[in-house]
Structure 1
Amino acid sequence: MSDNAYLVGLRLAGRKVVVVGGGSVAQRRLPLLVANGADVHVITRSATPAVEALAGITLELREFREGDLEGAWYAIAATDDPAVNAAVVAEAERRLIFCVRADVAREGTAVTPASFEYEGLSVGVLAGGDHRRSAAIRSAIHEALQQGLIAAETPGVLPGGVALVGGGPGDPELITVRGRRLLAHADVVVADRLAPPELLAELAPHVEVIDAAKIPYGRAMAQDAINEVLIDRAKAGKFVVRLKGGDPFVFARGYEEVIACADAGIPVTVVPGVTSAIAVPALAGVPVTHRAVTHEFVVVSGHVAPDHPESLVNWDALASMSGTIVLLMAVERIEQFASVLLAGGRPADTPVLVVQHGTTAAQRTLRATLADAPERIREDGVRPPAIIVIGSVAAFGG
């Protein structure tokens, strides 16, 4: 029988599909059949726990018998017994039912493509029976869609409004798949200083890139000026990506931009990012939590001093806790933060990890204790951006 196959999409909702076999092959095939509304009947001598637990199927634990395909529109022979699979295919032939034979694909009358679902698209690949090739091509197409190299939208119809995208902690590969895809569709990108610059280098020449730090704002607050640029470009019909470092809702004023756009009637899509507060310590070998060591961690902004009237941080509570403290934007005032934690009862020998330019090629780390961290940070010339981790876990990986 020829390996050539005619690709077609089957509407199986409410229609009987018989799957013979309950092992790993069936386990992979069943969820999509159920998701498409098929009336799925599984006949097998034994089933994997996942198949047994699957909702939406009729499971019969027994041998396959002549007549089991009565009323079926589609069948899959997926047992580990070639004779049983051949019997399923033979009955399907007699009943004019298309049938997949999982163990010897060319013996069946249908072939399951390597497939995936993506934003309303169903993509399937056949490669003349070369399953590794079809799987590899399927994965390549999926990745190209995710990265925006292939547009999933109707040509000329791009998402409108503003997308607030977290760019991750610095390494351009740590942006989310969705964030990278939206970035590839942008007409305008308003980027923060901490947004990975390599991501901007990938943009097409027609994309307007605006450095948020250089937006002229005169007497207005810088944030107000950024909000105005987002709204102005979006109202002009442009798709605007506001690209931030880390996560847009972790000390990044992202929600202020959401409110401003909402007040102006501009739709906003929020794409969370990998926050440096967790990722930078992790990639430096330090988990912010660890079983039997710490059950809590707190992420604290160091943009104002402990005694500043605008400070909302309860430093005495932080000092008395036993968990991990992650300080962001704290290098400039590290002396004050260390002092208030020591005064509040944190032991002087509490381990401290400092990571500068985390996740990038310029990353460097410093290990100290709470007592000597300020002096060590000044001696080493540590400058922002840097993450400071305080707690027992900071001694890990050293």
Structure 2
Amino acid sequence: MYKTPKLTVVGAGPGDVELITLKAIKALQNASVILYDALVNKELLEYAPQAEHIFVGKRKGCYSYQQEQINELIVSRAKSHGHIVRLKGGDPFVFGRGAEELEYAAEQGLEVEMVPGISSCLSVPAAQNIPVTKRDSAESFWVITGTTKEHKLSNDVRLAAKSSATVVILMGMSKLSQIVALFKKEGKSETPIAIIQNGTRTDEKVGVATIASIEKEVERQELANPAIIIVGEVVRHRERILEIQEKYIEPELVL
């Protein structure tokens, strides 16, 4: 029991339940109430059978709660129940609103704590053998939101397309045609690109192509949100690993 009402914002990781931290699990086990988002793997709630579970996520603009209502719910439940865990996909400080929720709770007199999560912008490509940096391929990387709060494509995508860095775009599937056009304008039609839907989950789908052909690949595989877009020479590393494995790993004998 907490003497002071407390909010712990917890990063749930990219989707695979095994990619959550031990500290996050301990927070779930000590929670009285868990407010969880749409991208959170619901299996994680099994770590907190004693807690009240409240879904506060959204899908394609459909909100179960507005942000102001979530903030108020955090404070009211903390004052009535003690320890609130706000469980958010990936890392709540990377294109999440974890910072805003912590600030609001602190202003209302709650004790606050942040438990970082494994961010999808790094882990989802990595799980598919796509590094965001690699010697002789990329010295840096951009992580950009594809859709701003005004529902427009971020201007940073235009700037990133001019660089030689790896570009990772979250929440960008609805703006894919615009993204492709920007990279084509910079003479990068043959630059490799990967789109990973439901990264690290059992229903994961991966599309790999070039800037020039990615829209056809998306149509062929029916790729959609939630997905991460990775643009850059590092995408070729995935194919290289597959080639090496095919060459050196003997197929299992079927008896």
- Structure 1 and Structure 2 fold alike (TM over 0.5): yes
Q: TM-score range by the shorter chain?
A: 0.7 to 0.9
Q: Percent identity?
A: 35
Query: Is the contact made by 2:195 and 2:207 (CA closer than 8 Å) also made in structure 1?
Result: yes
Structure 1 residue aligned with 2:34, among 186, 189, 203?
A: 189
What aligned pairs does 1:75-86 form with structure 2 within 5 A after superposition?
none
SS of 1:396's equivalent in the other structure is helix
Structure 1 residue aligned with 2:231, among 370, 380, 390?
A: 390
Assess, with a 3 A threshold, how the Cα gap between structure 1 residues 158 and 342 changes in structure 2: closer, same or farther: farther
Assess, with a 3 A threshold, how the Cα gap between structure 1 residues 326 and 159 changes in structure 2: closer, same or farther: farther
Query: Is the contact made by 2:13 and 2:117 (CA closer than 8 Å) also made in structure 1?
Result: yes
Query: Is the contact made by 1:258 and 1:268 (CA closer than 8 Å) also made in structure 2?
Result: yes
What aligned pairs does 1:119-158 form with structure 2 within 5 A after superposition?
156=1
How far the C-alpha of 1:224 sits from its partner, in A, is 0.7
What aligned pairs does 1:1-398 form with structure 2 within 5 A after superposition?
156=1, 160-204=5-49, 206-213=50-57, 222-304=66-148, 313-343=155-185, 345-398=186-239
Quote the RMSD (CA, aligned, Å): 2.2
User: Which residue is 2:244 aligned to?
Assistant: none
How far the C-alpha of 1:375 sits from its partner, in A, is 2.6
Assess, with a 3 A threshold, how the Cα gap between structure 1 residues 300 and 347 changes in structure 2: closer, same or farther: same
Q: Give CA-to-partner distance per residue, 1:360-396, whole Å, 9 cap, x none.
A: 1111211111112123212311121111110000111
How many residue pairs align between the two structures?
Answer: 235
How far the C-alpha of 1:160 sits from its partner, in A, is 4.2
> TM-score scaled by structure 1?
0.56
Name the aligned partner's letter for residue 171 of structure 1: D
Distance 1:394 1:239 in 2: 42
User: Which residue is 1:142 aligned to?
Assistant: none
Distance 1:260 1:184 in 2: 24
Distance 1:221 1:180 in 2: 25
Distance 1:310 1:221 in 2: 23
User: Which residue is 1:66 aligned to?
Assistant: none
User: Which residue is 1:4 aligned to?
Assistant: none
How far the C-alpha of 1:179 sits from its partner, in A, is 0.7
Name the aligned partner's letter for residue 113 of structure 2: T
> TM-score scaled by structure 2?
0.86
SS of 1:292's equivalent in the other structure is coil
Please, which runs of 5 or more residues in structure 2 have no aligned partner?
59-63, 240-255
How far the C-alpha of 1:299 sits from its partner, in A, is 0.6
